Chains A and B, each alone.
Chain A
Amino acid sequence: MENKTLASVRKPIKVLDGKVMLIVCIIIVAFLYAANIFGIFSSNTMRYLMKIFLYITMGEMWNLLSGFTGMTSLGNQTFIGLAGFTVAVATSTYNLPIWLGILIGLAIGVVVAFLLSFVLFRMRGMYFAIATWVIAEAICTAFKSWPYVNMGGGMSIKAKPYPKTPEIYLMALTLFVVAMIVVYLLLRTKTGLGLTAMRDDADAASSVGVNIFKSKLLVYVIAAGFTAIAGAIFFINKGTIYPDSGFNIDWTVSMVFIVIVGGIGTVSGPVVGAIVYVLLDEFLAHFPGWSNIILGAIAILVILFLPDGIMGTLQKKLHFEIFSQKRFSEHKKDIGKKAQLQ
């Protein structure tokens, strides 16, 4: 009985993924595309936005692994480095077009993720995290002594004509949009429902029939694929890649920062986190040496005072959720759009 009152005291959660949210998102995305076509943004703005799009994608993928599935990875840079080098090798060694380089990078990322899964999925929690990191470092070391990728000397990406900033911006924007749609839809599927259960208790999830290995594999491969493309685009923008830049743990550090600050386990969190991260990163570039210290301090403050991150705290305080993966027993009132999605 006491719980009955508890239930009535609790404010109902409003889910904002009905028509209004959809329209808002479409407008924002349409604007981002239109701005590119009509050349509204300066190339500096485009560079900022491009960075944001790529970091959102990487953050969403890390969040999908850690926040929704319970696989905290410290080795997503594996896929960034592999894809970056693939584009470099494809364009400079084999003179392939750049899009083909990206596709091969994607394929290599997915295949490597698939192969690694057989080793990695035997481990959980901290062991999984450390194993992913060790693998990334091992690949980095191997690349430094592999003549095929110019040892540690780095490679440059060559393409004729080399994609200009607006084109790279378009690639990044499209990747970000597709990544958001994939994450949202994945979480709405049966598998998506099982993921949250797995995160909370993998054994119990398995005992109610969730296929742990299959679900993990699906999520890991998706995360690897998108992270790989994001890495490829990043290095296309940069022009050169070294083992130390491609396989750097800093990639994962930024993903963790983005997800923790934005709100782990929320779809909107990494979007906010990535915007905060890129703006801070650009701003702090004026204070070389201090930037990591300040970023770290911010992360600690957020963990202490807003453990659910910016979006997580806002959602809890204001009782709403954007792109919620929640399932409700009644699906008429707030939910509207959801019934159609099923």
Chain B
Amino acid sequence: MGNILTFEHVNAGYGRVQILHDLSFSVEEGEVYGVIGPNGCGKTTMFNALIGLIIPSSGKITFNGHDITKVKPAQRCQMGIGRTYQVPRPFEGMSVFENVLVAAVHGANHSEHDARKVALDALKLTELYEKREIPAGELTLLDRKRLEIARALGTEPKLLLLDEVAAGLTEAEVQDVMKMVANLKAAGYSIIWIEHVIQTMVESTDHLMCMAQGHELLIGDPRPVMESKVVEEVYLGVEEEDEE
């Protein structure tokens, strides 16, 4: 299978502060690509460069065969990059269904009539179908995270970006999330998943990248990456203090 996304020697940052240093990696179509790394290693910056909130100073980002290095965020959304927020940001005054409908109408450019089906499918895939008429503001944390994903699915993405969806959830809820990700993968979505919860990274991903200081430290199969000495040094050492 081809690559859905590649970063080639990307340098990026905020103003004069450079965060990403010569970052290169590629994500294959249909895989779950895990990203780990200690706080401040540039995961979020990579994410922002990917969705278009910051423009790299050099390097190239290719998505689905198109150079998207300088494409605007809204356009990237329409090209098929679906993002989720780390802290869920539902449209609280709207129902769960309407939340996803907005995405399907604006992100995927459907008429409202066609968008209904897309939205309902997304809700079924994220197990929110039963709760579709509830105001989004009344959802539990797990359901808000589901809604983040459902809303991203509404935009009909090819690549889905999950930003710490398992953070703050109980162990049982983490299992639910992993099951959902497996379903999404089975449905054909390519997924980039940034996460601190180690279990999810080892069990759910096809490839795992560990970042450190804005650079890819190690990329490979999840278990060897997790068990390698370098990763342990930069990541697990810090992770102890990180425990919430």
Contacts and interface: CB of A to CB of B under 8 A. Distances in A.
Interface of A: 3-4, 6-7, 10, 190, 193-194, 196-197, 199-201, 203-211, 265, 326-329, 331, 342
Contacts of B130: 3-4, 7
20 contacts: A3-B134, A4-B130, A6-B138, A7-B133, A10-B133, A10-B134, A190-B106, A194-B102, A196-B102, A200-B91, A200-B93, A201-B91, A203-B89, A205-B91, A208-B102, A209-B107, A209-B108, A211-B106, A265-B93, A327-B101
A328 B94 CA distance: 11
A265 B106 CA distance: 21
A201 B147 CA distance: 14
Pick from B91, B130, B152 the residue with the most CB of A within 10 Å.
B91
Contact of A7 (B74, B77, B108, B134): B134
B163 to A, nearest CB: 11
B132 A196 contact: no
A212 to B, nearest CB: 8
Contacts of B152: 208
Closest 8 CB pairs of A and B: A209-B107, A200-B91, A209-B106, A208-B103, A204-B89, A197-B102, A210-B106, A209-B77
A287 B131 CA distance: 53
B95 to A, nearest CB: 7
Contacts of B109: 209
A338 to B, nearest CB: 10
Contacts of A196: 91, 93-94, 98, 102
Contacts of B151: 208
Nearest to B82: A208
A342 B115 CA distance: 12
Interface in B107-154: 107-109, 111-113, 116, 119-120, 130-134, 138-140, 143, 151-152, 154
Contacts of A328: 95, 97, 133
Contacts of A194: 102, 105-106
Contacts, number: 107
Contacts of A6: 134, 138
Contacts of A205: 91, 102, 106
Contacts of B131: 3-4, 7
A208 B89 contact: no
Interface string B52-90: 000000000000000000000110011000010100011
A326 B155 contact: no
Contacts of B94: 196-197, 200
Nearest to B109: A209
B92 interface: yes
Contacts of A329: 97, 116, 119-120, 132-133
Contacts of B132: 329
Nearest to B151: A208
B151 to A, nearest CB: 6
Given A194-B105, A327-B112, A342-B113, A200 B92 contact: yes
Contacts of A209: 74, 77-78, 103, 106-109, 155
B78 to A, nearest CB: 6
- Quick one: which of B93, B151, B155 has the most chain A CB within 10 A? B93
A130 to B, nearest CB: 24
A337 to B, nearest CB: 15
B201 interface: no
Contacts of B77: 207-209
Nearest to B132: A329
A201 B105 contact: no
Contacts of A342: 111-113
A219 B131 CA distance: 31
Nearest to B83: A207
Contacts of B73: 206-207
B51 interface: yes
B74 A206 contact: yes
Nearest to A265: B93
